[in-house]
Amino acid sequence: MKQQGTALTGLCLTRLTVVFSALALIAGLASCAARTAEPRGEIPLNVGSLYEPQNLDNVGGGGQGATEALAGNVYEGLFKITDSGAVEKSLAESYLTAPDGLTYTFHLRPGVRFHSGDPLTAADVKYSLERILAASSKSSRKSSLGVIKTIAAPDDTTVVVTLSSKSISFVYNLGFVWIVNDKDTDPATQEDGTGPYRLAEWRRGATLTLTRSDRYWGAPAKSARVVFHYFTDAAAMNNALLTGAVDVVTSEQSPDALAQFNQDHSFTISEGRSTTKLLLAFNDRVPPFNDARIRRAVSSAIDDHKLLNAIWNGHGMVIGSMVPPTDPWYEDLTGVNPYDVALAKRLLTEAGKPSGFTFTLDTPTYDPHPTIAAFVVSELAKVGITAKINSISADEWYSKVFQKHDFTATLQEHVNDRDIRWYADPNFYWGYDNKKVSDWVIRSESAGSAEEQIELLRKVARQIAEDAASDWLYLNPQIVVSASKVTGYPVNGLNAQFFVYDIVKR
């Protein structure tokens, strides 16, 4: 009996184990099923990107990645720059400009709350503007917002800003100022914005997750959860898209990678217009490039279309000046310094260098610069000019070229919109010095109307092209690839913004 009992107990135990195991299995399966059967719109949207933020603060050196993930998604400005480059009111419900153009009064949208629950007040706006202007600020808009003289918050919903001189771009520039809660003590690692998403988690080196904010004042975001996946390698990012690990990538950097996607109907490729211009920048202060004829000769000796085709295989465009088509003063100036080897030789002869000359081309070591340098060397050899490539790191470029102006010519990408104004500053690294151009740029800022501003800046664009102040080789395309079930993403990604709130995954 005893033995039997023991056997019985053993049997029971075995049975129990089986039953429990089965239950556990069923529970496990059920939880899996629950996970896969999330309601529509609850499936996270996975975004692939090569630009992880340095930190979360666009005033504290967060970089392109911080803008991409957070601008418009987590943080909003008084105004918003849409994907087509238009200015729309966002946290400002209305505003008034005094007749002298120096005083702006902004009325804030009522009922807006930060993600922490704190209401948006005029003090927050004042604080946010002061942050940009602070000595420690690394904001790229700091210099253009330098016209701000005073900021006052007479009541909770009104902000009054006075300027030291008229600035027609002031409202546009405000589109890049994130309004942050003045109680947020550490914006580099935590956010408190007003946008349609709140930051859920940032796993450095891997992912940044946004979840829909239920406090949002406007139309709620369409996807409940968005995960940015960061890659350091474009091939790995493309593989993630191919295998469905990500649904959309913010920008493709190689046209040859598109071959994997354009045969396949389950992917959509969209090409928008970027603001990234690739420049062969001369040092206009020093010989031989202090002579406009030499600069024009170099510009005419290089076949920009062939270069663009080599690098981007039919994508992107040749621009002929410092203005991308999304800037209102764009005009096709590719005819000013056309590709014409005979003209280049004639200009060299006129400038007293019929047999060419030798110069050093400071070339950043990272792509696409080395490839472009090889092309420039081979093109210039045809007119007798010898370019010697000097490879320099990004840091070296910044100190040697940008700060010390110790260079003859260099290659560099300029990513911002509306950056033609740097030709008005003789102290900028390329040292273009033309009083007329400086005057036009200053007058364009104090212009009374947009038409006047556009007209003046068109003159600037034409003048710098005629002087070949730099050689604008081409404008990058902005290529977004997504799974075809994904719609509603921005195609231009202007100024590295990537609004995710309208993206829908079917």
Residue 377 touches another protein, criterion: CB under 8 A? yes
Least distance between another protein and beta carbon 255 (Å): 9
**Residue in 194, 363, 453, 478 binding another protein, rule: CB under 8 A:** 363
**Residue in 117, 256, 265, 355 binding another protein, rule: CB under 8 A:** 256
Q: Residue 234 or residue 491: which is nearer to another protein going by CB?
A: 234
**Residue in 94, 358, 365, 403 binding another protein, rule: CB under 8 A:** 365
Which of these ranges, 111-119, 126-134, 223-231, 362-370, lies near another protein under the rule CB under 8 A?
362-370
Q: What is the 3-state secondary structure (H, E, C) of 410-434?
A: EEEEECCCCHHHHHHCCCCCCCCCC
Residue 280 touches another protein, criterion: CB under 8 A? no
Residue 370 touches another protein, criterion: CB under 8 A? yes
Rounded CA-CA distance 155/386 in Å is 65
Rounded CA-CA distance 323/422 in Å is 12
Residue 366 touches another protein, criterion: CB under 8 A? yes
* Positions in 303-332 near another protein (CB under 8 A): 306, 309-311, 313
Question: CB count, 10 Å around CB of 321?
Answer: 28
149-158 contacts at long range (C-beta below 8 A, 24 or more positions apart): 151/126, 152/126, 153/121, 153/122, 153/123, 153/125, 153/126, 154/122, 155/122, 156/108, 156/121, 156/122, 156/123, 157/107, 157/108, 157/110, 157/121, 157/122, 158/105, 158/106, 158/107, 158/108, 158/122
Which of these ranges, 60-68, 71-79, 374-382, 457-465, lies near another protein under the rule CB under 8 A?
374-382
Which of these ranges, 24-32, 178-186, 384-392, 407-415, lies near another protein under the rule CB under 8 A?
384-392
**Residue in 43, 351, 389, 491 binding another protein, rule: CB under 8 A:** 389
Residue 190 touches another protein, criterion: CB under 8 A? no
Site string for another protein, 119-148 (x = CB under 8 A): ------------------------------
Distances (CA, A) of 32 to 27, 46, 244, 246, 365: 9, 20, 19, 21, 48
Rounded CA-CA distance 424/456 in Å is 12
How many C-alpha atoms does 379 have within 13 Å on its Cβ side? 23
Least distance between another protein and beta carbon 295 (Å): 22
Residue 257 touches another protein, criterion: CB under 8 A? yes
Site string for another protein, 218-237 (x = CB under 8 A): ----------------xx--
Place of tokens 């008229």: 166
Instruction: Name the nearest CA neighbour of 269 among 311, 214, 304, 313.
Output: 313
Applying CB under 8 A, which residues contact another protein? Answer: 234-235, 254, 256-257, 259-260, 306, 309-311, 313, 363, 365-367, 370-371, 373-375, 377-379, 381, 389-391
